[in-house]
Each structure stands twice: as C-alpha cells, then as structure tokens.
Structure 1
Amino acid sequence: MRQIRLLLGILAVGLLPLACSDEHNHNYEDNDEVVLWMSTIGPYHNRQETYSYFSLPFCKGTKEVINHYHETLSEALQGIELKFSGLEIEFKADISRTEYCEVILNEESQKLFIYAVKNQYWYQMYIDNLPIWGVVGEQEEKNGVVSYQIFTHKKFDIGYNGKQIVDVNLTTDNKKELIPGQHIAFTYEVNWKKSSTKFEDRFDKYLDPNFFQHRIHWFSIFNSFMMVIFLVGLVSMILMRTLRKDYARYSKDEEMDDMERDLGDEYGWKQVHGDVFRPASHPMLFSALIGAGYQITVVVFSVIIFAIIGELYTERGSMLSTAIFVYAATSPINGYAGGGLYARMGGRIWIKQMLLSAFMIPALVCGTAFFINFIAMYYHASRAIPFGSMVAVTCICIFVILPLTLVGTILGRNLAGTPDAPCRVNAVPRPIPEKKWFMEPLVIIMLGGILPFGSIFIEMYFIFTSFWAYKIYYVYGFMLLVFIILMIVTVCVTIVCTYFLLNAEDYRWQWTSFLAAASTSGYVYLYSFYYFFFKTKMYGLFQTAFYFGYMALFSLALGIMCGTVGYMGTNAFVRTIYSTVKID
C-alpha cells in the first residue's frame, strides 16, 4: 500500500480540493479530527541525519485509525516520514492533561534515550502542515553526577481564525530521570485560542527577517549590481574600441593587393575565420551539456518565479514537487537545443545523443542519491529512499522525460539543424601558434569563474544556511536578482575571455567559453568545504557523505547552467563579429 500511495502522490495532489474538511484544504468544522503527525528525529547539529520518530522507544496514543493519510513523492524523496501520533485532537475542543501511554524502561531503551539526550536530539511534528519542534530531554549535573532526563508532557496551544488553524505552539515539561525499570507516563493537553492572525500570514512566525534582510544582504545585492554595471560598461568600452580599430585595419586590408597583405602585419581574431566555426571536439557530449544547460536554466528561473508567486516554502514538499514537474515538462527544450546543435555540428548518431542528453542529469542525481541511500539504509535513517519512490522516479524518466526529449530532438534537428555559420570552414585545421602562458585555455578557464562567483558569494551563504541549518529561505526576490546578475556577469566574462583567445589565434572557443563559465561551480564547491568546516558543527559519515554528495550535484548543475549561458552569449558575440567583417 505504501508504494501505491507514493506512485499516486501527484494524482492525489490534484484531487486535494475535492477532499473533505481536513489539513488538505485547511478548513475544519467544530469537533473535526485534527491529526498530529510525528515526523522525524535526529541530532541538532546534523540536520539531514534524521530517523523515524518512533525509532526511539516512544509510545503511541490510543487512537489507531484516522480518516485520511497522505505522503507525496517529494516528501518521500526528502525523507519526511509521517507517522500518526495516536493522539485524539478535535477542532476547538480543549483537552486537559491526559495520559496517553506508558513506557517501562529496560536497559536497551534507557541507552537509546540517553544517547538521544547526549546528542541533543530534537523531533519534528506537524499539525495542519505547520511544523512543530521539541527536544527529547536534557542532562543535568549535580555534585559532579550527571543525570539524563526526558520531557514527558506535551502542551499544544493552537490558535484558530474562523475555520482555519493559524498558529501552533508546543511546550514540553515534566522531566523524568532515565532509570532502568522506571515507569514513564507520557501526557498531553490541548488548548484552543482564538487568534487574529490571518491564514495567509500564519507562516510568518517561522521566518527570520533579521537574518535574510540584514544590511549585509542588501549591501551584497547592491555590490553585485554595481559590479554588473561596471563590467558591462568596461566590456562594451574595451570591445567596441578594440573592434573599431580592428574593423578599420581589416577594411584597410581589403584595399591592399595580395603582395601588400602578405607583407603586412596580420594578426588577431580575423586570421582564424576559417576555423572558428569548426565543430567542437566531442560534439555529442558538448551538445548534450548545452541541451541540459538550457533545461536547467529554464527550470531554475521557473521555480524561482513560482516560489515568488505561490510562496512554495509554506507547503511541505511543494518546492521539490514543482521542480520535478517543471523539469519533466521542459524536457523538449533540452532535446531541441541539444539536438539542433548536434545536427549543426554534423552529428549523425542522434539517437545516442538524445539518450545522453535526456538521462545525463537524472543519472547523475539518481547515482548520487542511490550511493547516499546505501549509507542511509545502514544507519536506518529516514533519508533512505523507499522502493516505491525509486520506481516512481524511474517511470517519470522513462515515460515522461524520454518521450518529450525525443520530440524536442526531432524538432531541433529539423527546424534548427541546418549549418548556418557566417564563414566557411577550411578543410585543413589551422595550426595554433604559441602564445603566452596566461592566454592558454586552461588558465582562461580557471580565471573565468572568479567574477561570477564573486557576484553570488554572499547569496551562497544564505542559501547554504537555509538548507543546512535551521533557516527557512523565503527571499526569492533576492534570489531572482542574483540569478539575473549571475547570468549577465557570466556572459560578459566569457565574451572577454573568448575575445582574448581568438586574438591569440586560438579557435577552440566553444569548450573554452563553456568551461570558463562553468568554473564558477568549482569555486562554489571549494566554498562548501569552508562552510562545512568553519560554519557548521556537522559530524559523522552519513552527514558528511550527504553534504558533499549533494553539494557536488548542486555545483555540477550550477556549472552546466553557467557554462551554457556563457556559451550562448559567446556564440552570439562570435557570430556577430565574423558576420560583420567581409572575410571570404
């Protein structure tokens, strides 16, 4: 049944408005059932190392049957386990202190609770999609003797406005020392209070405007914006002045006879016009990366827009659900861009290119997730992906992403697959002359990512803190500005790098422009090491593998996106300068 629920998760989301009064539509009548979900538990400093709440020897309430149950695909992929608490809670019905279960501590359960208290375990619960947090217990020291105690009473203060729940607060007390053989009774109480908070504003209490809207955040945005203005102006001034001189010199060359031209001082980007539009090496891989980059760019932009419009952070798992849906729906963009480019480069094995383009990103994501999944299974962590979720993801890749990519590839080959280079390509490649060390492609690639990384450096800190610590990221307007700034800076930098490369009579600009922009991801991944060791207190094999595994995926996706944007801008620049000058 669990696998069936996961496979039908997306369908269930579409049918939510038809559900009865409950947490799906957030409307309740008096004495309607209100479900308290017990989610995960884990050490405070390892946010991603989570386990099922009942992996500790807690006990459930007396109620065994609920009227509804739901767990979406995105929740399962994120390791959000929902277990019914067994506590009876009804809308607007106060409950005085009531015992709901009892635990007799044996030696094993005592050790588990003590380990949890030592490692500062905290747990997460949900009422009407509102998260609630509590700590398992605390340790006390008296006269040099350390005792371990857990909280046995949960007090819920629930605010309502009309028929909707707008606020939930948890208070834990009644500490009991962990002594083998002791009978520990767990109790709860519920108090309902009328609130003036609007339903649309109920999530505001979880946000931290003092952190995300801090002066340094505004300053970083302003600083990046000024960098864009300066860089765009500098690039425009240098290139236009330089190109104007080049155009004047080359126009003068046209008036010379062959003898004068041979004796003249010819150099620069014009000399490689017969090779500059030569297909890139490894065209299949290159076109697949460009196609995937187009798709990732559209997905990131779309999800940011949806997050701004729909406040996706307020609904559990909605951000990942939106990302999966948009990624699958935009697969034709991948096929069109990659398939068209591969055809223009003279590629013949288009089916293999289409498969590579369609499954490159899913294979990397799934491969990393499955590797981490083995570690999660060893630790019995809730992050272990259920088999039903794996089947669901595989079905999406095979029955949605692959056919849409195939359609896009066919359209791309037929509509945009005709070579349209403004210059003819020489039959024999021109030898690349020796040049200074700082003009070598490898050096240009390493230096190309510094300025783009500098434009997003501060925002990376806020994004990392929201994902790896306990902040909810909600300033997606800032993210949109930083995204646009990153795109502009990346294009400007890669154009400059490519111009220097071509001026050195090196026509290998396709891979250089892509990798120079993509090198931004290398600096982001290096920064993730600094953040891990100096800004967090994470520890353990599972958390370390989870952190560096998914940070590698994040950096890789960022690199493909930046590389594609850099190539797009550079391609437009190269085609412009070579189509303006008469060189055939």
Structure 2
Amino acid sequence: MLSTVRSFSIFLIFSLFFFTSPTSGSESDHKYQAGDPVTLWVNKVGPYNNPQEIYNYYSLPFCHSSGNAAHKWGGLGEVLGGNQLIDSQIDIKFKKNVDKNTICELELDATKVKRLKDAIDNSYWFEFFMDDLPLWGFVGELHPHRSPDNKHVLYTNKNIFVKYNGDHIIHVNLTQDSPKPLEEGSVLGMTYSVKWISTDISFARRFDVYLDHPFFEHQIHWFSVFNSFMMVIFLTGLVSMILIRTLRKDYAKYAREDDDLEALERDVNEESGWKLVHGDVFRTPQNLVLLTAVVGAGAQLATLALLVIILAIIGMLYIGRGAIVTTSIVCYALTSFISGYVSGGMYSRYGGKKWVKSMILTASLIPFLCFGIGFILNTIAIFYRSLAAIPFGTMVVIFVIWAFISFPLVLLGTVVGKNWSGAPNNPCRVKTIPRPIPEKKWYLTPFVVSLLGGLLPFGSIFIEMYFVFTSFWNYKVYYVYGFMLLVFVILIIVTICVTIVGTYFLLNAENYHWQWTSFFCAASTAVYVFLYSLYYYYLKTKMSGFFQTSFYFGYTLMFCLGLGILCGAVGYLGSNLFVRRIYRNIKCD
C-alpha cells in the first residue's frame, strides 16, 4: 500500500510539473537577448464588476490573426481560475521599440457593433500577459452626453511600455488612445506601439508593483490582529480562572479522607451539574458515522489550511497564476491520511462496527460537497459559454488525484487509527439506562449554545474576512499570509476556548449530548461568515446578473461549509480533551 501511494505521489508531482511548464524557451528562465521575440498572450475579457463572469478574449470581435495561434496551458490552478492564454501574434522583440504598427483593419457590421456596444455598456475589461506579467485595459468608453450613435467609443491603439533590467523584463504597462465611435459599415485601424525603458529594479522585486501595500498593511489591519490577540488572552484567562477554580472545588469533595464519611455522604447527596451525568457523558452519540466523518475531514482541513499558509509565506505562491489552488489540491490529497486516522480512531473508540462506511464517507465528504456545488456552477458557466467552466479533462485529472492518492491515504489512515488509537479509554463506565435530561432555561439549550458559540470566533476574524473578500472579489493580490497565519492561530484558540465553555454549561445543565453540540457551537462561526457575505455583496460590491450572483454565493457557500467543518472539528476535539480531563479525577462508580 505504501509503495503504491508513493508511486502515485511521484506521478502526481511529475504531472503537475509537466502541466505548469511554459511553452516558450525564453519564458522558462525569463531571460532574453536583444531581438528575441517576446510573446504577448491574450487571456480573457468580461464585466469589470463581475470578476467571475469571464469569456475568451476573442469572444468579442477583436483582431484575430489567421491560422492556428499557439495556446499556453497552465496547471490545474490556472485552468480552474479560468485562464486561457492565446498567442496574440503581435510582433514584439526584446529592446526593439515600435512607433506604431497595424494589427488589423476591423470592419464593423451590425452584429459586431451591437456586441461591442454591449461590452462597453457593461464596462468590459481584458487581460493580457507578457513574460507572466499581467496587463489590463478596458474595451472602450461610454460618453452619455453624446448622441446615441456616437456615445460608444472603441480604443483603437494600444501603447505597451516595457521596463527591463539587463536580460529580464521587470514591468509591463498598457495605455490606450485613439477612441473611435462604433458605426456600422466603418473600418477601424487597430494599431499598437511598444516602448522599452531601462530600470534598476531587480528581477526579484518585479511583482511588488502589483501589491497594494497601503491597503493590506493599513493601521486597521495591524489593530485587528492586536485586538484579536487581546481577545485570546482574555478568553484563555477567563476559561482558566472560571473552570479551574470551579472544578477544583468539585475535586476537593472527592479528595477527602475516608474517615470523613458523613461529610462525603452529605456532599454526594448534594451533587448537581456535570458530575451527575458521568454515567452518560461517554455514551455513543447519534449519527456516529457522520460525526466521525466531519471531525476527520475537519482535522484534515485544519492541517491543510496551516500547511498552505506556511507554504505561501515561504514560497510566495501569490506570484504564480493559480499556484495557491494547485498547491491546495496537492496538499489536500497528501494530507488525507489525517482525516482517516482521526475518523477511524474516533469511530473505533465509540465501538462502531461499520468502519468501511465511515471511511468512505470521510474520504468523499469534502470532495462531493465541492462537486455538488461545482456541478451547478459549471452548468451555469457552460450555458453562458464562460471560461469559468471547468474542462472535462481537468475534471478527470482531479478525479484521478482523489481516487488514486486521496482515497488510498484515507483508507491507510483509517486502518492505522483503528488499530493504534481505537481502543476505548473512557474514564467512566457508561450506564445501561440513559439518564433523563431535565428541562432547563432557554439559554442553556443546545441550539442557543451552538448559535452563540460562533460569535466570538467570528469576531476574531471579522476584519481579516474583509481583506480576504476584497482580495478575491476586487482584483487585489492577497500576499499578507503572515497576518493570515496569526489570525488562523487566534481562530483556533478562540474556538477551543468558546467550545469548552459551551460544553461546560451544557454538562452543568445535566445535558450529556455534548458531542454534536460542541461541533455546532464551533461550526456556527461559518453561519456568521455567510451572513457577512450578504452584507459584503450588497454594500461593498457592484456585482449584478444571475451568473455572478450564482458564483459569488456558490463559492461563499463552499468556503463556509469548509470553514464550518474545520471549526467544528477543532471545537469537538478540544471539548473531547476537556471532558476526558474533568471526568478522569472523579469517582465514577
């Protein structure tokens, strides 16, 4: 089994290297000699306010050279991001200026005029790449004060400015001019110019210009991290003070000498709260298979998030197109052992017998949730003929990674967890007859405890959610993964503290169904994140249309489900350690 997994891991890494290798020899090392051809790749076009509504650049009637233009195929992340690079076949040579050269003569008929006017009405923008550096521009401009026939103008000249240092391209920029009205029957000459400018900026710093330092390193960002850190100190101190002092009093009753029988009998008769449910607290929870699956999957997601953040800090993954997505897919496959180990061990400790069912659900829970949402979004993208549609070949590659890497590792982890950590080790014996749960006040019910449990964890990541959402939906490159690492650690600590407090309140209310409650107490953080996404959509963006709305809430739902499972697993595991710790020191029989 191990040799098979290792072989497929090597195959996967080789395949990803093959998929991401560029097609041009000069672009592979980013070094050029004077006069070497430099490829300008056209990528995509779409409404500026709808980031996911993207189409092939030549879906609009732009100049399209005759013959088969070369395509540049990237890795999984680039394809999933909707990138489709096509050689523009515009003649550009390293360090060779071009004053003005003709691309083509664009003959406008009624259909082309209508499509271009619709694009301008919707603020269509386009994206090019040169030496893996992006260039952006708008298709045209709208002049509302002009007559209806002349208010739409198309930019007909593109000025490309390229900064270089030695044999490296450092920065590219695009400006447009020569706006011409869109009139049926007219012929527009589409032209371009290229100007090369020397610079002393080093090759290692060439991506700095795309990073919005004032936005991400604003004082409010630092303040939010500091505020969350203070919340951690407060919560951990509060939990330690309340729980340790309270539990110490309870333990003192059981630590008395045997000769104080009268006092001990009186204390036992006055017992209440969490001590009374010691015979039921380790009872097998309902839907054990599902609980072990979500806890195992959540433990894997927590490991995955931590690993990807660290790799992003070390390797600056934000530089490569789709590098974050590709890294996440590979790391998810290779960390699948963790989900199987946690799920298998937990299921075995509770005495579960259908471990194959548990293993299959653990291995397929996250992939099939993503597949279900992705299938709906992909159907919409195919209907709109958008580049956001995932090609069938990419689906096959992802399925192969899951079937031959992820699934075998989950199986291996389940077997190891079942045999190494699956022995029952409950501090207290479970009674045969379940104890009735008394009626309590409304604020001590599992639903209220679960709902309120997510408030503080959400408060600790609230500001960071704004930066993450703005980066993903507003064309900003997220690069402050150090902030994200701090916020992630804070989220884990706050989630554990809050869930322990919620579990303690529940047990004091003599309700021993703490397993699912602890999970939902932590997972409810995702509910507040989704509510925040509603606020962000309506007040912070200008998105519109069925396509973009579907993708916005589809991606957000996918993210919130993952966040909820992650937090829920962390909350359960923290509460499980807490419950075993407090019942270990009392006389259960």
Whether the TM-score (by the shorter chain) exceeds 0.5 is yes
Q: CA deviation at 1:18?
A: 10
Change over 3 Å in CA distance of 1:437–1:256 after alignment to 2: farther
Amino acid of the residue matched to residue 189 of structure 1? S
Mapped to 2, the partners of 1:263 and 1:300 lie a distance apart of 47
- Which deviates the most, 112-121 or 25-34? 25-34
Q: Secondary structure at the match of 2:141?
A: strand
Deviation of 1:141 after TM superposition, in Å, equals: 4.3
Instruction: Write the distance in 1 (CA, Å) between the matches of 2:93 and 2:22.
Output: 21
Is 1:104 the counterpart of 2:72? The answer is no
Cα-to-partner distance string for 1:315-372 (whole Å, 9 max, x where unaligned): 1110100000100000111111111111111111111111110111011111111101
1 CA distance for matches of 2:272 and 2:375? Answer: 53
**Cα pair 1:274 1:424 within 8 Å, conserved:** yes
Paired residues for 1:127-526 under 5 Å: 127-142=130-145, 145=148, 147-252=151-256, 255-256=260-261, 260-261=265-266, 264-526=269-531
Classify the secondary structure of the residue corresponding to 2:173: strand
Structure 2 distance, partners of 1:402, 1:32, is 47
Question: Does the 8 A contact of 1:490 with 1:517 survive in 2?
Answer: yes
Which deviations, in whole Å up to 9, do the C-alpha atoms of 1:400-447 show, x marking residues without a partner? Answer: 111111111111111111111111111221111221111111110011
Asked if 1 retains the 8 angstrom alpha-carbon contact of 2:73 and 2:84, the reply is no
How far apart, in 2, do the equivalents of 1:15 and 1:50 lie?
22
User: Which is worse superposed, 304-313 or 78-87?
Assistant: 78-87
CA contact (8 A) 2:77 2:325 kept: yes
Moved more, 197-206 or 242-251: 242-251
Q: CA deviation at 1:11?
A: 2.1
Q: Do the aligned residues in 2 keep the contact of 1:463 with 1:473 (CA within 8 Å)? A: yes
- How much has 1:15 moved relative to structure 2? 8.4
Is 2:38 aligned against 1:48? no
Residue aligning to 2:7: none
8 A Cα contact 2:253 2:264, kept in partner: no
1:120–1:185 distance in 2 versus 1, CA, 3 Å: same
Cα shift at 1:69:
3.3
Partner of 1:34: 38
Residues 92 and 466 of structure 1, relative CA distance in 2, 3 Å threshold: same
> Aligned AA for 1:100?
I
Cα deviation 1:164-191 (Å, max 9, x = unaligned):
2110011111111100011112111222
Moved more, 244-253 or 299-308: 244-253
C-alpha displacement of 1:34 = 1.7
In the superposition, relative to structure 1, how do residues 215 and 324 fare at CA in structure 2: closer, same or farther (>3 Å)?
same
- Superposed CA deviations along residues 94-151 of structure 1, whole A, max 9, x for unmatched, are 2231102122101000000000111111001111111110000002245655521111
- 1:542 aligned to 547, 552, 555, which one? 547
Letter paired with 2:202: K
Q: TM-score, normalised by structure 1?
A: 0.95
Task: State the secondary structure of the residue aligned to 1:24.
Answer: helix
**Structure 1: any 5+ residue segments left out of the alignment?**
1-6
Judging changes above 3 Å, is the alpha-carbon distance between structure 1 residues 229 and 259 closer, same or farther for their aligned structure 2 residues? closer
Structure 1 residue 506, shift from structure 2 partner: 1.0
Per-residue CA distance 1:278-333 (angstroms, 9 max, x = gap): 12211100000011001100110011101111111111110100000100000111
Q: Deviations over 1:224-280 (max 9, x none)?
A: 111111111111111111111111234459743699459821112111111111122
Matched, 1:58 2:62: yes
Q: 1:547 to 1:69 in 2, by over 3 A?
A: closer
In the alignment, which of 74, 77, 80 is matched to residue 77 of structure 2?
74
Instruction: Identify the residue that residue 3 of structure 1 maps to in structure 2.
Output: none
Rounded Cα–Cα distance in structure 1 between residues aligned with 2:120 and 2:415 = 59
- Say which is worse superposed, 355-364 or 17-26, in terms of deviation: 17-26
1-structure distance, mates of 2:110, 2:144: 21
Query: Which residue does the alignment assign to 1:86?
Result: 89
Q: 1:16 to 1:451 in 2, by over 3 A?
A: closer
**1:465–1:471: 8 Å Cα contact kept in structure 2?**
yes
Within the candidate set 566, 571, 580, 1:575 is matched to 580
Change (3 A) 1:536 1:69: closer
> For residues 378 and 416 of structure 1, what CA distance do their matches in structure 2 show?
49
Change over 3 Å in CA distance of 1:378–1:263 after alignment to 2:
closer
Q: What is the aligned-residue identity percentage?
A: 52
User: How many residues are matched?
Assistant: 577
SS of residue paired to 1:37? strand
The alpha-carbon distance between structure 1 residues 129 and 521, as it changes in their structure 2 partners (threshold 3 A), is same
* 8 Å contact kept, 2:165–2:200: yes
Give the aligned residue type for 2:587: K
Q: Is the 8 A contact 2:224 2:463 kept in 1?
A: yes
CA contact (8 A) 1:151 1:173 kept: yes
Q: Provide the rounded CA distance (Å) in 2 between the counterparts of 1:10 and 1:208.
A: 34
Counterpart CA distance in 2 for 1:9 and 1:30 is 35
One-letter amino acid matched to 1:267: S
Partner Cα distance (1:259, 1:335) in 2? 45
After TM superposition, give the deviation of residue 582 of structure 1 in Å: 3.0
Deviation at 1:14, TM superposition (A): 5.4
Aligned residue type for 2:231: M
Q: Contact 2:457 / 2:494 at 8 angstroms: preserved in 1? A: yes
**Corresponding letter in the other structure for 2:245:** R
- Written as runs of structure 1 = structure 2, the 5 A alignment for 1:560-571 is 560-571=565-576
Using structure 2 for the length normalisation, give the TM-score: 0.94
- Asked whether the equivalents of residues 72 and 86 of structure 2 are also in contact (C-alpha less than 8 Å), the reply is no
Distance 1:141 1:517 in 2: 52
Letter paired with 2:95: K
Are residues 404 and 368 of structure 1, via their aligned partners in 2, closer, same or farther at CA, if it must alter by over 3 Å? same
CA gap 1:227/1:18 in 2 versus in 1, 3 angstroms: closer
Equivalent residues of 2:69, 2:88 under 8 A apart:
no
CA–CA separation in structure 1 for the residues paired with 2:23 and 2:142: 45
Q: Secondary structure at the match of 1:580?
A: coil
SS, match of residue 383 in structure 1: coil
Q: Is the 8 A contact 1:9 1:73 kept in 2?
A: no
SS at match of 2:143: strand
Q: Give the conservation status (yes or no) of the 8 Å contact 1:453–1:524.
A: yes
Say which is worse superposed, 357-366 or 31-40, in terms of deviation: 31-40
Task: Give the CA deviation at 1:90.
Answer: 2.2
Following the alignment from structure 1 to structure 2, what is the Cα–Cα distance between the partners of residues 253 and 509? 32
